[in-house]
Amino acid sequence: MKNDKPEFTYNFLGLERYVVAGSKKLPAGLVTVKLEFAYDGGGLGKGGTATLYVDGKAVASGRVEKTEPNIFSADETADVGLDNQTPVALGIGYGPEETRFTGKINKVIVAIK
């Protein structure tokens, strides 16, 4: 979330960042935000299309030109609601005190097709 709008950042090893951002603020109340990544395929490290949905409606879409081909850094964590280590997105600060999401997250689902 950035300025009450949904935003996805894919950080490629700290060298490049790909951002897909919605243009409208989320409505008050219970909202479902979904990110779908359609991988190009054809081997490791390829790109794909990231699409953000709000309550089932596509609100933003963009290219991620390349993805991490093997493993992520051993000192990173799988954070939800904060960025505990190296910031994924620029301009959000550093560490849990500065990056903590102040809304409520009811559920996170990760599905691989």
pLDDT single digits (tens) 34-75: 999 999 999 999 999 999 999 999 999 999 999 999 877 766
For residue 19, what are the β-bridge partners? 9
- Residues with Cβ within 8 Å of 61's Cβ and at least 6 positions away in sequence, in order, are 20, 49, 50, 51, 52
Where b means 16+ CB within 10 Å and e means fewer, 32-44 reads: ebeeebeeeeeee
CB neighbourhood size of 85 (10 A):
13
Task: Return the structure tokens found at 22.
Answer: 């919605």
Give yes or no for residue 83 having a pLDDT over 80: no
Q: Which pLDDT belongs to residue 27? A: 92
Q: Provide the whole-model pTM.
A: 0.85
Q: How far apart are CA 26 and CA 52, in angstroms?
A: 12
Beta carbons of 62 and 19 less than 8 angstroms apart: yes
Under the banding of pLDDT at 50, 70 and 90, the label for residue 14 is: confident
Q: What are phi and psi of 60, to 5 degrees?
A: -165, 150
Task: Return the structure tokens found at 28.
Answer: 């008050």
